[in-house]
Chain A
Amino acid sequence: MTSELRFLLNDREICLTDVGASDTLLDFLRIERRLIGTKEGCAEGDCGACTVMLGKLTETGMVYEPINACIRFMASCNACHIVTIEHLEGPDGGLHPLQAAMVEHHGSQCGFCTPGIVMALYGLWMSNPDAGVTEIENALQGNLCRCTGYEPIVNAALAAGRAGGQAQDALTRERGAVAVRLRAMSGQRVELVRGSDVSIIPADTDDLAAVLEDHPKATIVAGATDVGLWVTKFLRNISPAVFIGHLMKDMKVEGGEIRLGAGVTYSEAEPLIAEHIPAALDYWRCIGGWQVRNMGTVGANIANGSPIGDTPPLLIALGARIVLRKGAARREVELQDYFIEYGKQDRKPGEFVEEVIIPIRSDALVAAYKISKRRHSDITAVAAGFCLTVENGIITDARVAFGGMAGIPKRADRAEAALQGQPFAAASFDAAAKAVGEDFQPLSDWRASAEYRSAVTANLFRRFWLEQTETGLPVRLNYAVGA
């Protein structure tokens, strides 16, 4: 056990003892360290002006990803490498190839979003040197620019990719040394106390179980993509807080199931989704922006109990289960049963989500849909997961779940009944579309009216049917660039 928070900031090692549970990385950078290149635009992880790179030690070595400093708690930076825009400067004060491309292509106007955009693109440039426009747009889902219309920024990113230079980049060259330094900081529990404010960073999952037995009412903080806003927007006191973003990272496929440790981020899980649930890949990439997917975890998305839920509608449709743990005791729960009512889940004090188990349904017809005002980085108005088994032209099993339609993510019982045992034909889906109106009484809010939610929900059955039918006519919009 230690009472020191240690991490790397650019080329310096930082060691802090006076840290509060609510202290954010952005305030530390700007106020404490006067690293003013990182900006605050919204303090809720939606504009990307505060984007920095976070290097984390994984089994395969260092991985660097862009994250939002505004909702990253300091305690979640333990044993990480934080890289800010100031670190891109070469030893001679020269521009990084990406920065040079941004200048050459007139990618900055007011310039306030620019450092964040450079950092997001830096993350892409390092991880995918051959990125095309779609990948660049995905990388920029979490960055707003109000001036340029993005065209010159995308062009700059393409040019920087062509320019190359990743092997010579400081973060590439120094990875081994950084890994050694971070490893030395990991492996023991960190407890930070400031007056009555307590932050605990457990050493491992067993330690987490022990910590939660001692602090059953603690705020459990994983990626902080929601809890971050409790602090920055609602000024809530989250102490005692237990920071778990570095734990439960196991991912494996066994017995026809994907087993995700609860701490696996959306980004970390993405390759498995691409391989085993390809129909959900587009959906997956519409969850938050890139920074949010680099922080947010699947386990916490479930544990948190949002009525919309990015992953639950899909996962419920697939028949996912979760493993809940308290101390040494574990129990497995059907995901659909975890959500009891709005704000209430089947999780006892001291208990935590340890694992998410997702059946691979390559035998079934699977789809995931997200409806929102803006396609990317928007909170969903309606989320839907479909998983249908069809044998000999008959729907033998129908699992359809929606988010945003009730107080919890929920299966559409009547719609499912309308499909169950029916021919795999348009009429069955028309019947389901009608029946789903009886399943939900959605609310109206700024994301969508009840009328729209209901109308779209019914139409998604039609879309699902059309997608499975070869009519020669497109069913979904084509977002490809240059289409």
Chain B
Amino acid sequence: MKDETIIKGVAHTETIHDSAIKQVQGRAEYTDDLAEPYGLLHAYLGLSTCANGRIVSMDLDAVRSAPGVVGVLTAEDIPGHNDVSPTGKHDDPVFAEGEVKFWGQPIFAVVAETRDLARRAATKAKIEYEARPHALAPIEARDAGFGYVTDPLTLRRGDAAKGLAASPRRIKGRMSVGGQDHFYLEGQIAMAVPGEDEDVIINVSTQHPSEAQHMVAHVLGVANHSVVVNVRRMGGGFGGKESQMSLFAAVAAVAAKKWNRAVKIRPDRDDDMSATGKRHDFVIDYEIGFDDDGRILAVRGDWYARCGFSADLSGAVTDRALFHADNAYYYPDVELHSHPMRTNTVSNTAFRGFGGPQGIVAAERMIEEVAYALGRDPLEIRKLNLYQNGQLTPYHQEVNDQIMPQIFEEIEASSDYHARRQAVLDWNARAAREGGVIRKGIAIVPVKFGISFTATHFNQAGSLIHIYTDGSISLNHGGTEMGQGLNTKIAQVVAEAFQCDISRIKITKTTTEKVPNTSATAASSGTDLNGMAALDAAEQIKARLIDFVAERWQAPRDEVKFVPGHVRAGETDIPFNEVIASAYAARIQLSAAGFYKTPKIHWDRPTGRGRPFYYYAYGAAVAEVSVDTLTGEYVIDRADVLHDVGRSLNPALDKGQVEGAFVQGTGWLTCEELWWDKKGQLRTHAPSTYKIPLASDKPRIFNVKLADWSENAERSIKRSKAVGEPPFNLGISVFEAINMAVASLTDYREPARLDAPATPECVLMAVRRLQG
């Protein structure tokens, strides 16, 4: 390591992603790129072709005798538990046993010498079902009496019934919001390598290595210490690899132990999309009471979710939908219910926002209802109902870090919102007069997003730092890198702590061997938690080094400090490398394990009260769209975003998160449509049929800014704020702008009440409805 006085890559700088150079060269390794162990076998899943039914017969002889096949695994071959339920509900079998509960459910796996042979063999299964009636959609499931997959939640403050009854105006409505496939570019994959005794090492694309470890141990029936899970990076996760990778890790592990050979499993994209969960679709019934000024007085709502056949993370997801049913607005009397419905579909799971967007999109629909009923700009209604510090959310957390007024003020000016809204109104008026077929809409939508896992115990993290004798630093933490730049940000924190160049630091793969009992890299919390844990480890080592330097270089302890590339002892600057070499020789421990737990938070689910969130992240977007009323097609003419990430650890990476989240949120509400046929088969299960946004779909003008004046009111890592999920919600501005363009057809007398996704078809049908 060279001595340095000018250091790069400390906190709050636009440091490039630590893997960027490797990624552009194609040298960054993903799980399928790892050097394959000699004798590697490949597993492939056999999936059900029935949405709900009893398995009458299963003939796998042709599978077993297919070329290259080593063997077949079914539920009977599982040595431990046939279950990968992330919440201990024991309702998530690896392989269906006796009955299938959705089309695409894994029933068996075949293991063969090559992936191609395994895949071909899997098609030879003969399975007969006795079909039962199925229900795919949440209301259909409710009416069929399918019940809940997990306990519902009620949030209540004040008396909603009374508040509604006393409101001068009341509106009831229903909206349907579609789900979303993660479409991580790297599909699910796991490779298991057997070891001695009960050991097995799994390389798996996962956001939650500890859970993969625990699930594999559970399925194998061995202790957690026998299983090691590694992940260097993922090719995207977005929540889809928080629990859904367990299936693949478990199948690879069972096969690896059974045949004592390394086993890889990588489903084709169609099977990946059929057999793994997605964002929850919701049907939301809402009722809102308000006065003639547009002040909201009471809200009552029911959130029915398509959870799929098992609980997975649906409890927490539907909880978070309710936590965000207020978005940024104060509801004086409120009552909210979640309904996590059991359906004959794949078990839905985490996806960026984790239910929050489905709460927020309904909150914004209610704002539209009020605004259109009163003939007002929805922005006025929004401002009127924003939380004021000291007010309580429906879950009785006091809001005290409100910055929305400032965000609104700034973005209204920077986007020239008021003049552009007038121009849109004028455009539509002219189109109405002269028979124009292109209508326009503009909308400004805020977001307030709660940061922390609502399961309080997940809000902990660990880290491990070693400084080697040459002064190079090895940094490890429990978070996983899926593109968000977590490793880069944490390395920046450590570089800042040691006042060293970031090139001195290597972040190794995430592994359960180094940091145990980690939480998922989820809930936008990766940097908040792991950054703090890394800082804790760095501070421990620094304290030892300061003691050592004070003694060796004869300086008072409070005059020893870390300066770029050096440790300063009084008047003397000692190169970092020299300090490390001397400290080693003096037998100073140069390694530390760090730990962090988020303070202040608590949550009591039975009473629906507590402080589930450490703080809120805020933001707003203004979107303008044009809609072709002949075809329902649309284009996002412009989007302006102002988003709050507190004091950004890395403005370049944070801006990238905001831009990407916005476009992904837009995709959820526009072109991304999940479509099941009558038999219950998902027919949009590959990019040929499931359309995520392309470069040409992004806003034609796209201005994204960070609120650089914001600082986290809480003592978060360097006063930054989480960024992964909150800006996803800003895509709602596009959805609402499309609604406005359509509503112009009836001169805004009523909202267009589009369901999501607002595909061109959905838009044209709304146009026809409004045109009568």
Contact = CB atoms under 8 A, between A and B. Distances in A.
B103 interface: no
A140 B765 CA distance: 31
B765 A473 contact: no
A431 to B, nearest CB: 17
B688 A44 contact: yes
B564 interface: no
A109 B238 CA distance: 12
Contacts of A152: 656, 659
Interface string A450-467: 011001100110110010
A375 B234 CA distance: 29
A477 interface: yes
Contacts of B184: 110, 112, 146
A196 interface: no
Contacts of A108: 17, 19-20, 23-24, 483
A110 B186 contact: yes
Given A149-B659, A150-B695, A473-B434, A110 B236 contact: yes
A88 interface: yes
B692 A137 contact: no
Interface in B635-663: 635, 637, 652-653, 655-656, 659-663
Contacts of A110: 184-186, 233-237, 482-483
Residue in A89, A452, A471, A475 with the greatest tally of chain B CB atoms within 10 Å: A452
Contacts of A377: 694
B698 interface: yes
A112 B235 contact: yes
A109 B120 contact: no
Nearest to A462: B630
Contact of A43 (B236, B268, B662): B268
Interface string B219-240: 0000000000000011111100
A477 B430 CA distance: 16
A310 interface: no
Residue in B119, B661, B675, B698 with the greatest tally of chain A CB atoms within 10 Å: B698
B119 A235 contact: yes
A482 B691 CA distance: 24
Interface string A366-399: 0000011111111101000000000000000000
Contacts of A372: 760
A235 B123 contact: yes
A147 B701 CA distance: 19
Interface stretch (B28-36, B73-81, B441-449, B713-721): B28-36
A198 interface: no
Interface in A61-79: none
A376 B434 CA distance: 31
B25 A89 contact: yes
Interface stretch (A32-40, A179-187, A259-267, A401-409): A32-40
Contacts of B683: 445-446
A475 B26 CA distance: 44
A288 to B, nearest CB: 10
B185 A49 contact: yes
Contact of A145 (B185, B630, B661): B185
B628 A476 contact: yes
Contacts, number: 278
B588 to A, nearest CB: 38
A18 to B, nearest CB: 15
Interface in A1-37: 27, 30, 36-37
B269 interface: yes
A371 B268 CA distance: 28
A114 interface: yes
A42 B686 contact: yes
Contacts of A362: none
Given A36-B26, A148-B656, A477-B633, A137 B119 contact: no
B406 interface: no
Nearest to A112: B235
Contacts of A118: 24, 26
Residue in A114, A379, A475 with the greatest tally of chain B CB atoms within 10 Å: A114
A481 B430 CA distance: 24
Interface in B180-227: 182-187
Interface in A192-214: none
A311 to B, nearest CB: 19
A95 B692 contact: no
Interface in A104-120: 104, 106-115, 118
A446 B698 contact: no
Contact of A149 (B17, B25, B660): B660
B671 interface: yes
A38 B27 CA distance: 10
Residue in B235, B435, B436, B675 with the greatest tally of chain A CB atoms within 10 Å: B235
B702 interface: yes
B702 A455 contact: no
B689 interface: yes
A46 B686 contact: yes
A251 interface: no
A41 B269 contact: yes
B290 to A, nearest CB: 35
A479 B764 contact: no
Contact of A448 (B677, B684, B701, B761): B761
A85 interface: yes
Contacts of B662: 149
Contacts of A149: 656, 659-664, 693, 698, 702
Given A27-B116, A41-B185, A151-B698, 18 more contacts: A46-B686, A110-B235, A111-B233, A115-B24, A140-B696, A146-B184, A149-B656, A154-B695, A233-B270, A371-B633, A374-B694, A381-B761, A456-B631, A456-B632, A459-B764, A472-B434, A473-B438, A477-B633
Interface of B: 16-17, 19-30, 32-33, 116, 119-120, 123, 182-187, 233-238, 268-270, 430-431, 434-438, 482-485, 626, 628, 630-635, 637, 652-653, 655-656, 659-664, 671, 673, 675, 677, 683-684, 686-689, 691-698, 700-702, 704, 759-761, 764-765, 768
23 contacts: A42-B687, A46-B688, A86-B25, A103-B20, A106-B20, A108-B24, A111-B28, A112-B30, A114-B24, A140-B696, A141-B694, A141-B695, A146-B183, A146-B664, A149-B662, A150-B663, A151-B659, A371-B631, A378-B691, A459-B630, A460-B631, A473-B430, A483-B701
In the A-B complex, the 3 residue pairs with the smallest Cβ-Cβ separation, listed nearest first, are: A37-B26, A112-B235, A110-B483
